[in-house]
Structure 1
Amino acid sequence: MAIEPSPSIKADDFPASERGQPTAAMVGEYLCPGEVHPISRAVHYARLAAFFPKCRVCEHRRETGSLPRQIVERIDRTLHRVPRESLLSGEGVRGAYLNEIGPREIARFAAAFAVQLWKQRPKRCSLDGADSVREARRAGPAVVLGRDGRPSSPRLVVEAAAALRSMGCRVIDVGIVSAPCVAFAVNHLSAAGGILVTGSGCGPSMNGLDFWEAGAIPWSQPGRLQSVEAENLPRPTRQGGDQRSFQAAVPYSASLLKHFHALRPLHIAVGCASGFVREQFEKIFEQLPGRVEFVSASVADDVDRSRALTLERTACVVRDRGMHCGAVIDDDAQACRFLDESGRLMPISAVALQFARIAREESESPVVVLDDCFSADWPGEAAHERCSDSTREAMTRHMAATAADLGAASNDRYWIRDDYPVCDAIVTTARILQVLSRSDRPCSDLFLNG
């Protein structure tokens, strides 16, 4: 039986995806928006599953392959989100580690901060002749650099230090510290500025930077913080900077002790996620007749929920263990809320009023700075200044300008006058203990009933 030859097959008889030139998806290479090197199909799927921000505007975002249905549904929901135009938050730079902020972004913000510090430095000139003046070589600005205890912070602090040195700054590494400790070091060392690698106020997957200028004045938004967004900055000097270490925690701990003098035996429960803050409380209460008991703080991406859980746990410890009061301190070691002996939350205005009475005993005419949220309800027995903004920068500058003795804001932050306006939850807790030590009355009677 004769076999008929098969008809000839041409490439044009097949669609493009089935010809000898496969599509990008078949080859397995994708190019993320803004990147120059292609990625494999596996990396493409992994980024989709991790909700990589650039996937929202990628032309291949619908190619989900065999990803689980739940992941695909979440991807569809995230496609409608508006991407962040800026990494600046109210009190610093914040972003999801690696997805939004990584070593490159940290270096850029640190370099921009260094440029601003160079602009504030006075020029020193020396005369070479009667008519010639040349600018003398200037030592770079000294910058205090610290970090919090997040797992991503060690890598980011290395990049920040390298960027500062490349801009001619003298880096002073203070290790793992809190925001109040960085502010203390800036003032203690008369540094030009300070940077803290921290994701305070955000979930554990976030990180960022906080900034201070000379005088321990923090940068916020609105304010000087916006100046660190500048890009393509020239180096202010060809001379690289240096780096040294300084144990800022040692003088910082010593400076806290003066706030805890003349206290009666008091027992307090403290809920805080910062290991550095817990260490400071342990050192302080080793020399006091009272007792501190720590409450495990909840840590999750839902910051508000974590704060509520920590507040609830602390209230239970206060009631069950018969504590005189309780303190719940945010991970920035600045914002804090207080509980009476029954576990009830003390109003900010009541706490500020008791602090003002102490300030009136220390000064004949104390000045209190309040933000707009509760300055209208402030009692007439204590004079006050009104600050239209409750950011750390606005309140600190206002206190420095008016030489105020006390500051209070509706965001649970208090400022105590020292060598500079101090916003430190440990110092604020010391004031609470001072109020309780001046009377045998229970905490609720003092703060809730006046």
Structure 2
Amino acid sequence: MAITDSLHREREESAEDVAEYVCPGERAAISPAVHLSRVARGYHKCRRCPHNPAIVDLNSGEAPVDQLAVDLPDDRDDRCTGLFRRDLGTAELELIAGRFAVQLHNRQEFPLASGGRTGQQPLPSVVVGYGDGPHDAEVALRLSATLRRYGCTTLSIGAVTASAMRFGVHHLDADGGVHASSGGLATGRIGVRLLDRDSFSESVESWQTSVSGLRTHEPITPTRRGGSTRSFDVTVPYSAAFLKHFRGTLGQGVAVECDSKLWLKNCRRVGDAVGLSITDPTTSGSKAFELVVDPEGERTAIHDELRNPVGSAELISLLSRDALREHPGSSIVLDWDLARKFRPLITSLGGDCVPSNSSPRSMAATIRDHRGLLGFDSTGRIWYRQDVPTADVLLVLAHLARILSRSREPLSKLLRREALLRHEPAEAMT
């Protein structure tokens, strides 16, 4: 009771310093008593009110981001990562989800429904998914519960890969997405990926806003109207979206090595539908080529049928030539490091080389804005233009299988031909 009285006195003292209050989006002023009442009840407009004492001031006395134990997204990984329960515990996850919900509310003004009642305003929708790590589902459940408490409708799509998550945000026309995935991280670490309504990863600046108060755990005000939740199986439309890329492929064996059972399951499902035999590299039998895929399913190293590594120059040349054969003059997006080396190659193939930063957000945005056919970055991702630009290795598998089916020649012979056309030795793709 004493704590409540003290907080009430602080709010009254702060209210005396303001002559009048005007709620965001309203014209008429309200009295200090109404202001305090709305703050206490969690009125939805109080999330954006500068006079709300519970709103976190991001510029006052907080620990610098570079001193936090969590790792912010970078060019190679678009997730915020940290040790589960130590760096990213319940309080930290709730703060990240709560601030993300506030950002979604603030990014657009939701129109009043018929009758003009506030309770009928639509709530932001957020797609929630998780990987196949030991703690991914638990983290996603905590994030989902917090999002609903802060006035968001959650759409659960279950265990999905990073690319399927981006597809889900676009397919369900959601306002954002939250993906919990520990794929490729050290034991005990988890990662949280935030997506905007364009299915692009949130920028580093947005993440700095989200995690700048993790060590202070300053509160943010929940809404008085909680969101609902529903489920949707996105794997069916996501797999169906890939089938068109396998048209014209002949039955052949492909060796795939990946630590993610989730991605392998989806790969085998698509392979069975198009007549490809997806096997383990250790099994006997002839294989057209071999893919070594990262746990997120977005980066790959490729080996030919002789298990020789495929060079980056030959791979860029082979895939770009195939894409430009049907769409001459189109854009091929390369990050700056690759663009400096391979711009003449793309130009000689009849394409327009468009440079970009190598972060997933920048690559996806550049492909969308320039209508690029595909893109390559130095981290090993190969991007294709879909409804949402994606770097799922399934697309690389589809296009390589189609090239081999059309040429009816082994991959090693095609790569040697590309090397002769370029008059340069191959470089191993990292």
Structure 1 unaligned runs (5+)? Answer: 1-81, 295-313
1:202 aligned residue: 185
Residue 338 (structure 1) shift: 0.9
Tell me how far 1:219 sits from its aligned partner: 2.5
Secondary structure of 1:105's match?
helix
Please say if residues 157 and 197 of structure 1, whose CA atoms lie closer than 8 Å, have aligned partners that are also in contact. yes
**1:166 matches 2:134:** no
> After superposition, where does 1:147-186 map in structure 2 within 5 Å?
147-186=130-169
Matched residue, 1:64:
none
Alpha-carbon separation, structure 1, partners of 2:415 and 2:231: 43
Q: 2:325 aligns with which of 361, 376, 391?
A: 361
CA RMSD in angstroms comes to 2.4
Could you tell me which amino acid in structure 2 is paired with residue 187 of structure 1?
H
- Give the letter aligned to residue 358 of structure 1: D
Q: Distance in 2 between matches of 1:190 and 1:127?
A: 23
Question: 2:339: which partner in 1?
Answer: 375
The match for 2:210 among 218, 228, 240 is 228
* 1:426 match: 394
Q: CA deviation at 1:292?
A: 1.1
Tell me, yes or no, if the aligned pair for 1:92 and 1:225 is still in contact at 8 Å.
no
Query: Is this contact kept in 2: 1:338–1:345, CA < 8 A?
Result: yes
Relative contact order, higher structure (CA 8 A, sep 6+): 2
**Matched residue type, 2:348:** E
Aligned residues: 342
Residue aligned with 1:238, SS:
coil
| C-alpha deviation, 1:245, in angstroms | 0.8
Q: Does 1:441 align with 2:429?
A: no
Which residue in the other structure is 1:322 paired with? Answer: 286
Q: Deviations over 1:380-405 (max 9, x none)?
A: 32434443421100111111111111
* Local SS of the residue matching 2:315: helix
Q: Report SS of the residue matched to 1:374.
A: helix
**In 1, Cα distance between equivalents of 2:67 and 2:209:** 21
Q: Report if the CA contact (8 A) 1:112-1:230 is conserved.
A: no
Q: How does 1:24-423 map to 2 (within 5 A)?
A: 84-90=68-74, 91-125=78-112, 137-221=120-204, 224-231=206-213, 232=218, 234-235=220-221, 237-294=223-280, 314=281, 317=282, 321-378=285-342, 379=345, 380-382=347-349, 383-423=351-391
User: Partners of 1:413 and 1:444 in 2: how far apart?
Assistant: 21
Q: How far apart, CA to CA, are the structure 1 residues paired with 2:356 and 2:328?
A: 26
The 2-side partners of 1:420 and 1:158 are apart by 26
User: Structure 1, residues 393-435: CA drift from partner, whole Å, max 9, x if none?
Assistant: 0111111111111111011101111212122111221112122
Q: Offset at 1:368?
A: 0.5
- Please give the per-residue CA displacement for 1:302-327, whole angstroms capped at 9, x wherever unaligned: xxxxxxxxxxxx4xx48x63311001
SS for the counterpart of 1:278 is: helix
After TM superposition, the structure 1 stretch with the greater mean CA deviation from structure 2, 205-214 or 282-291, is 282-291
Contact 1:269 1:325 in 2 (8 A): yes
What TM-score results when the alignment is normalised by the length of structure 1? 0.71
Q: CA deviation at 1:137?
A: 4.4
Q: What amino acid is aligned across from residue 263 of structure 1 in structure 2?
A: T
Match of 1:61 in 2: none
Q: Structure 1, residues 41-90: CA drift from partner, whole Å, max 9, x if none?
A: xxxxxxxxxxxxxxxxxxxxxxxxxxxxxxxxxxxxxxxxx975543232
Q: Which entry has the higher C-alpha Rg, 1 or 2? A: 1
Structure-2 change in CA distance of 1:156 and 1:388 (3 Å)? same
Deviation for aligned residue 1:208: 1.9
Q: Which amino acid aligns with 1:98?
A: R
Instruction: Measure how far apart 1:340 and its partner are.
Output: 0.7
Distance change (3 Å), C-alpha of 1:448 and 1:190: farther
Task: Give how far 1:253 is off.
Answer: 1.7
Match of 1:67 in 2: none
In the aligned structure 2, how far is the partner of 1:86 from the partner of 1:274?
Answer: 24
Structure 2 unaligned runs (5+)?
Answer: 1-65, 419-430
Q: Secondary structure at the match of 1:174?
A: strand
Aligned sequence identity (%): 25
CA distance in structure 2 between the partners assigned to 1:431 and 1:122 by the alignment: 43
1:220 Cα deviation from its structure 2 partner:
4.7
Contact 1:325 1:343 in 2 (8 A): yes
- Contact 2:289–2:305 under 8 Å retained in 1: yes
